[in-house]
Structure 1
């Protein structure tokens, strides 16, 4: 039997297209429990590699023969060996090239919708990390919001679309992943914007992202407007694009709300968070489509793979938007927090420009699930 090499893009299509997949994950149990490849119709078997050194015969009855089987490990080496043993035992299997390390870095661009005058809005879905980045394009120009660190993905996409990147925004100083914003701006001679209240310690030049700032793409009528919305950080800023889409950064998610503690100031910022969610956002049109900077669970993906939902629907369905008692809200936000993101303090230092780790170290810093939300 043959062993098939799967790329991260292949697995992404199985996630987005809701296809069946059986994953044999040969990492240690704690690593698997903390973070795995999520899919709507995925089944899993977690058997640490060291338990299979003497052969795979004992697990063969647990491996289906009527669906695709993918072996996964941290960096691919162990999964290749296990896949070859399964192949020798007469099974058709594949392994994930680059393992979970590469899965963490993959971006899938998906069109969210059309903008006025022939413009388009794209969401870049980082399935292995839960990060969401955006590119609005119109009249030969592009604006990027919350880009992750893989700058070539965005610059190549812009080249393919025949547009020039003119504006690059970060909604806030990120703590769970390394931003590619200022590096994209440097590579394309675009303007890089960052909220000044989040930028007090940065060591690079930037343009202040202030409430009410509006940029226009080309000579079109597509407007990207900034809305100050603190709470996740003190500088957090949302965007309204083309009066259709609300990019909420890490303030509001589809299934939860943003956590206010990643700078160690949960008690100070929880009031800002409630003010944004319960007052500022309530003044906006409910038909705006919410596009967050992260998703937490696979169920937040729509059928086309996008993460998006009407603001009015979230007002009705999102528990974090329906806590009437302020004291209860405060307790929920400050007491019910998940573990801090992996290496979040160091990631903040990178995003301030204070340290510049090698690419391999940046990958290790970002490994693991997204933890920007209140549970």
Structure 2
């Protein structure tokens, strides 16, 4: 019997639709513990491929007989072999996950957030395997992309599907946990590429400086993207207020946590800026604004429709990082609860500055692993 394949898109839909699946992960224990596909309705078993070279008999009793089994590895090769061994042992509902965890890291799911005034639309691109969130704002046949990841074809193909032209591309800050696709997307489409100048001191390419209080119009229906200087995660971090309704916070504020200030090695210097942004600048904004961050940390942050979004007022009441009245306690909480640095974060920063140009496979390797942009 031929082993069936399961695509990464199939896995993504099962995650978003809360379907059940048994996932047999045949990567090493260290790789599995560091990063895996997350879902509240998935069951898991981790057995390294090398432990199964002599056969799968010893794990058969741990596998379900009446539930689909998806075998996943790093790239898709080992999973195919293990799945074949399971089929030979008599299991029929077995799948090999195409592309493995590398493909999972790259998959984007577009989700519509809202209609905007005068016929515009707002979409969120959810990178489930990495926790990255990027956005498309459309109006009057034009589109703006915010915090694009390196898989830029996802945006150009979706724009073509909607019949809109990408005219403006924004990065809220110089990213350190993933490679930005902003500059490449702008070059491909002829769009203007915007970057906060405070984060661009070492970049080696041309960009349009994005400054506090800038207004960039998209299309003819006056949907403005208002820039709001909001340092703390980086010195140049900039938020956007879209359509007077949505607050794109970059990596400053998340649904269940706040941004870390140390990815340029300046936690002690920037923690004060972080507090100023969260406790003063954002406090001056309307509680009714819908926060749309650039990352999420855990699957519980996703809403039923698959989007990651919450009212600013709700976050001020529920997010622990927004409710520490003592400034010294806040400083300790931020600087003493930092997770490990993202994998290859310095090389990622240099790539986003244009200083180095790793090839496609090197970029994939640099990004492998979980999102680590938040304070724990």
Instruction: Provide the TM-score with structure 2 as the length reference.
Output: 0.99
**Aligned partners of 1:87 and 1:93 also within 8 Å:** yes
Which structure 2 residues correspond to residues 1-375 of structure 1 after superposition, within 5 A?
Answer: 1-91=1-91, 92-375=93-376
SS at match of 1:109: strand
Structure 1 residue ranges (4+ consecutive) displaced by more than 3 angstroms after TM superposition: none
Structure 2 Cα separation of the partners of residues 88 and 305 of structure 1: 37
Unaligned runs of 5+ in 1: none
Deviations 1:318-356 (A, max 9, x none): 110011111011011111100000000000000000000
SS at match of 2:175: coil
Instruction: Provide the TM-score with structure 1 as the length reference.
Output: 0.99
Structure 2 Cα separation of the partners of residues 159 and 40 of structure 1: 34
SS at match of 2:314: helix
**Aligned partners of 1:71 and 1:93 also within 8 Å:** yes
SS at match of 2:262: coil
Deviations 1:136-177 (A, max 9, x none): 001100011000011111111111111111110000000000
Deviations 1:29-81 (A, max 9, x none): 01000000111211100011111111111111111122221101011111111
Structure 1 Cα separation of the partners of residues 244 and 40 of structure 2: 32
Structure 2 Cα separation of the partners of residues 2 and 302 of structure 1: 37
**Aligned partners of 1:2 and 1:93 also within 8 Å:** no
Aligned length, in residue pairs: 375
Shift of 1:272: 0.2
SS at match of 2:106: coil
Shift of 1:2: 4.6
Unaligned runs of 5+ in 2: none
Structure 2 Cα separation of the partners of residues 164 and 234 of structure 1: 31
